[in-house]
Structure 1
Amino acid sequence: MASVSDTAASPFRGFTLREWQQHYRNAPDSLRTTLSLVMGSLSQSDNAWIYLATAEQLEAQILHLETLRAQAEGSLSTLPLFGVPFAVKDNMDIAGWPTTAACPAFAYTAETDATVIARLKAKGAIVIGKTNLDQFATGLVGTRSPFGAVANTFNPDYVSGGSSSGSASVLARGLVAFSLGTDTAGSGRVPAGFNNVIGLKPTKGWLSNTGVVPACRLNDSVSIFALTVADAQAVAHAAGGYDAADAYSRKNPHTAPVAMSPHPRFAVPDSLEFFGDALAEFEFDQALERLNSSGITLVPVDFTPFRELAEQLYYGAWVAERTVAVGEIFEESPEAMDPVVRGIVANGLNYTACDAWRAEYLRAELSRKINLTLEGFDALVVPTSPTIRTQQELVQEPVLYNSQFGIYTNFTNLADLSALALPSSLRADGLPAGITLIAPAWHDDALASFGRHWQRSLSLPLGATGRAMKSEEFMTSAPVSAASVRIAVVGAHLTGMPLNFQLTSRNAVRVEQTTTAATYKLYALANTQPPKPGLVRAEGGSAIIVELWDIPLARFGEFVAEIPAPLGIGSLELADGRIVKGFICEPWATGEATDITAFGGWRSYIQSLKSPVKS
């Protein structure tokens, strides 16, 4: 791989989305100059790239983006990714660009953008190149490509991880703000772990696969590499959404929590394998200690069904799905394929339709066991990879070592789980170590909420850039999720109060304690069981303490249905000017109620009832 010193370094190297947004706010007319500097910092001899945008292709995107800005009357509020450069794994289509899947004989020129690319462009992002990969996304190593093995960004003697090797490499070096990969067996997580970056493996079907060369259609997910968890989450929401053109796309049911509980419980495999890699084992033990010391409850669980399902992906009938995906190139020009990839694909011919159905039955059974095991936990925590290998070692054992990399990743998509790979430390040999959090489908935002806190607690550089995470990034609060309703509770639904279970049983999560604007009065209602307050907007009011909770959108209606008169849900104004949904009371009910505004909140009033009366 070409040294990054071969070309002039971009002044924007390692910028996060927040920094890109600030740059364009300060220099809104610098789009061409900025992208010219970015492109000038890239090297054609860097084999992490398969294809770089031509001047004409870049200009076409700039013109389109300028049109979008004009339509928005100059405002960038609807273009949160305005001018942000990103990279795409070369198994995704970009209109007018070649798609190779790292197989030149397979190459074709795409007619339209993949759905995820179109959605990101619509938010203002600029794609500047397509990246190297294990051919046909078959591998976790980053070495199975005619364009060359992509080197690890921390030590070029080691592998980068695959199959999304190039996307992880260019992101880790800060050449782009984010990059897209794909993940079928761990291809969006292993390279993240090996290069010290964030790897988000979304719930299957959230990000469309239209315009993506399939590896295993039933298990493929477009994945996201970013320098921060906040960036990965923002990109996922910009790119995600239902796509009727993708038969495996699906709508978010909005029933999952959007953050983790205040006192999370993590499952941990009861038996761990590191294949003799003492440094990897030590760093994972250190990560568990950090989790435990931060208040996470760690509980060992039987890892047998996870391990058995992981083995199915490459050592069962599921490999035949790769044979179907590769199709004509394997049948007509097998010599054009990477020998290791060709051998794996050829194994699919050894299975019958009966074998495939047996494999599906086994997948369903093991998946059920896995999801039942994870009930009651916020996530499963595992090493992103149990070990790492040199490129020379992969030459000697290309299949065995690839298989080792996947023991904590291969089961995830088969069991319909979401996952987030996080950096955790740098080993004594200077290589990165990482952990992955795995949770049920649609728990992506919950994983991200924890990932934000985890990343803030570490002092790791961003990728291989050598840059530290800026303090402004620490202060970036999680966005209000469109998959939830933020509601203010003021009385019996507060934490520890009798009706709080109506929130927690619906996967609602506590966000913060705050106060209303100083325009409300609080009353203790008469004849209510359990005792309840009533909040009324009125002259002469005060700021009243409330808790904010995020309740999944699909559970909001059933929660509201349990609220008895004279209470209801309306819009409350908070002290900082935010407007949220919250408990309100019909004014007629205050006639027989006790005005307790002076207490400032329900807890203080309840405590006063318990305090002995002084004579």
Structure 2
Amino acid sequence: MLPTILDLSTVRAAYQSGLTPLDLVEEVIKRRAASRDPAIFITATPEEDLRSAARDLMARAPEPNSLALWGIPFAVKDNIDAAGLPTTAACPAFAYEPAADSTVVQRLKAAGAIVIGKTNLDQFATGLNGTRSPHGAPRSVFDPAYVSGGSSSGSAVAVASGLATFALGTDTAGSGRVPAAFNNLVGIKPTPGLVPNVGVVPACRSVDVVTVFAATVGDGVAIRKVMEGYDATDPFSRHAVPAVLPATGLRIGVLECTEREFFGNGDIEALYGTAIECAKSLGATIVPFDYAPFRQAAELLYNGPWVAERLAAVKDFLTSNADDFDPTVRTIIEGAKAYDAVAAFEGKYKLEALRQKTKAEWTKVDILLLPTAPTTYTVEEMLADPIVKNGHFGRYTNFVNLYDYAAIAIPAGFGHNGLPGGVTLIGPTFTDDALAPFADAMHRALGAGMGKDKKASLPEESRVAPLDDGFVPIAVVGAHLTGMPLNHELTGPGGYRLKTCRTAGDYRLFVLPNTVPPKPGLIREPGFAGNGLEVEVWALPPAAFGNFVQKIPGPLGIGKVTLEDGSSISGFLCEAYAVADAEEVTALGGWRAYVGTQMAS
């Protein structure tokens, strides 16, 4: 029995246990038929074609999981070519039959992934709300009265509702991030040029990006890595030069209070505050920054000459088929006629002047942490005021591609109305890999689940390991835990938390008498049949590790601690003599639980 969310780890484990791609596509067919949202797909892959794709894969690569995405079901936004299915950009009169796959779809298929259909979108990818389509408006998986976000509306809903492991979107102004926020997903927005756009209907060609919707950061990064790579047939494709971020003392820029606009949505405002505290608990330094030059660039995307790129993409079709456009989309694109070549250069000059101003802010911070969208609206509210309310969604997203940044959108939790909110981590050009470990750590710490399964635990297999920085991992069990009295001894020299996990089952935990602050004693007793004890694994700079160990008072010391997955790392242990008359608290499962009982009493 497969769970609701078909994350990569779950599907791979099922294949390893005997499930076949044919079995999985039958499940997808069943789920697709049972879906209550008729607006997710524009064209669903026919059932027999799905079965044929599964059989062909098993013939080509019989060994389970022998390809990077062996048997993984995915959906494709319907402005991206997938051979055998029409590309419509949500405009039936524009539809054509692509002669070949887009570069990204070709690479994903070669890795074993199976296309389950073409998804709905705001027509010609013009919008951030998901209502601008003749095929209907996909809805939030949490409340059908609310918009799904756009323009990659159907793609996000397909993943969040459990129809696909991942889906492709595109992102010019935020279309790969806003729907992620509204459906409790991760949105991977690569640096422009990292992933080829060949076979993609352009919106603003110079800043368009193919994106990934996934259940976890690890899944999204793995999929992005299959798609990325230079394509000489794409004039905007680039050879990536991966950039790094500090592994310790990460400085995270957050909005000044005067720039925090949520249009009356107190829930998302509170979630942003929670996310900031989460980043701080993970070892980051929080730095308010001047958002003005970023906000002013964001305003240029729709209220400046860049909208003329949308006209350039469809000008001939608009001339002959104006009545086939969604009225709001037509209004936006025809508005581009007000801009001439002079305005284009003036806009470029303004953008570069603003970019210069951002450089001062980047000397203060390493990455930015922003709300993904400041609010949400019902479909009815959006249709009543489609341009203004859509503009609200782009307040914190529109500048990112103009400035050539990488971004990862993650779930941030739920408001009192049961709707999700999200935050986005934004880094300089080609920090795509460097952003991922901290984004993953935040997603796990915020505990919002995956897609419509709010309670889902993120698989350990998808955890994103920090880039190798030479730091020394150490397992802590007591007063050095996050929020405990001695945690500053880890964060002070630049340490950061890697994960929370458990020891192997043969460890016991005791309260050491006469210690200030109170400290636990962890000992290993081979043959003891326990459930393991909660520990945190931290990473310390090599230069700080020796000094840290030197300060540890007896009877405590550092030895090898075996974790529940069988791995061994350095960690706190106690000499056995010291626990002879000590209180045992093993049954509580960890020191944090013990401290909780003491506070309660």
In structure 2, the CA distance between the partners of 1:408 and 1:486, relative to structure 1 (3 Å rule), is closer
Deviation at 1:13, TM superposition (A): 3.1
In structure 2, the CA distance between the partners of 1:467 and 1:488, relative to structure 1 (3 Å rule), is closer
Paired with 1:75 and 1:149, the residues of 2 have a C-alpha distance of 37
Contact 2:85 2:98 in 1 (8 A): yes
Contact 1:261 1:510 in 2 (8 A): no
Paired with 1:86 and 1:427, the residues of 2 have a C-alpha distance of 29
* Partner of residue 21, structure 1: 12
| 3-state SS of 1:86 partner | strand
* Partner of residue 248, structure 2: 262
Quick check: 1:415 aligned with 2:403?
yes
Paired with 1:511 and 1:46, the residues of 2 have a C-alpha distance of 42
Paired with 2:50 and 2:443, the residues of 1 have a C-alpha distance of 34
The CA RMSD over aligned residues, in Å, is 2.7
| 3-state SS of 2:132 partner | coil
In structure 2, the CA distance between the partners of 1:97 and 1:51, relative to structure 1 (3 Å rule), is same
Gaps of 5+ in 2: 473-495, 500-538, 543-560, 563-569, 571-601
Quick check: 1:380 aligned with 2:368?
yes
Q: 2:225 aligns with which of 194, 219, 237?
A: 237
In structure 2, the CA distance between the partners of 1:62 and 1:216, relative to structure 1 (3 Å rule), is same
Structure 2 counterparts to residues 298-447 of structure 1, below 5 A: 298-447=286-435
Deviation at 1:40, TM superposition (A): 2.1
Paired with 1:511 and 1:282, the residues of 2 have a C-alpha distance of 26
| 3-state SS of 1:98 partner | coil
Contact 2:22 2:55 in 1 (8 A): no
Deviation at 1:330, TM superposition (A): 0.9
Paired with 2:466 and 2:60, the residues of 1 have a C-alpha distance of 25
Quick check: 1:197 aligned with 2:197?
no
| 3-state SS of 1:159 partner | coil
* Partner of residue 117, structure 1: 105
Letter in 1 for 2:29: M
* Partner of residue 65, structure 1: 57
Paired with 1:91 and 1:377, the residues of 2 have a C-alpha distance of 36
Q: 1:34 aligns with which of 3, 24, 29?
A: 24
Quick check: 1:76 aligned with 2:71?
no
Letter in 2 for 1:21: R
Moved more, 389-398 or 283-292: 283-292
* Partner of residue 174, structure 1: 162
In structure 2, the CA distance between the partners of 1:36 and 1:452, relative to structure 1 (3 Å rule), is same
Paired with 2:161 and 2:317, the residues of 1 have a C-alpha distance of 34
* Partner of residue 90, structure 1: 78
In structure 2, the CA distance between the partners of 1:60 and 1:210, relative to structure 1 (3 Å rule), is farther
Q: 2:39 aligns with which of 12, 33, 47?
A: 47
Deviation at 1:32, TM superposition (A): 1.4
How much identity, in percent, do the aligned residues show? 43
Contact 1:371 1:415 in 2 (8 A): no
* Partner of residue 592, structure 1: none
Deviation at 1:255, TM superposition (A): 3.9
Letter in 1 for 2:46: T
* Partner of residue 126, structure 1: 114
The runs of 4+ residues in structure 1 deviating greater than 4 Å are: 485-489, 509-512, 547-550
Structure 2 counterparts to residues 206-285 of structure 1, below 5 A: 206-257=194-245, 260-270=246-256, 271-285=259-273
The count of corresponding residues between Structure 1 and Structure 2 is 482
| 3-state SS of 1:99 partner | coil
| 3-state SS of 1:438 partner | strand
Deviations 1:346-372 (A, max 9, x none): 011111111111111222222232244
Paired with 2:61 and 2:461, the residues of 1 have a C-alpha distance of 28
Paired with 1:477 and 1:460, the residues of 2 have a C-alpha distance of 15
Paired with 2:286 and 2:58, the residues of 1 have a C-alpha distance of 51
* Partner of residue 484, structure 2: none
Gaps of 5+ in 1: 1-9, 490-508, 513-546, 551-574, 577-599, 601-615
Quick check: 1:100 aligned with 2:109?
no
Quick check: 1:183 aligned with 2:171?
yes
| 3-state SS of 1:413 partner | helix
TM-score (structure 2 length as normaliser)? 0.76
| 3-state SS of 1:127 partner | strand
Paired with 1:75 and 1:549, the residues of 2 have a C-alpha distance of 40
Moved more, 213-222 or 284-293: 284-293
Contact 2:15 2:65 in 1 (8 A): no
Contact 1:371 1:440 in 2 (8 A): no
Structure 2 counterparts to residues 500-519 of structure 1, below 5 A: none
Contact 2:440 2:463 in 1 (8 A): no
Contact 1:367 1:414 in 2 (8 A): no
Paired with 2:260 and 2:56, the residues of 1 have a C-alpha distance of 51
Paired with 1:478 and 1:315, the residues of 2 have a C-alpha distance of 38
| 3-state SS of 1:158 partner | coil
Paired with 1:264 and 1:350, the residues of 2 have a C-alpha distance of 44
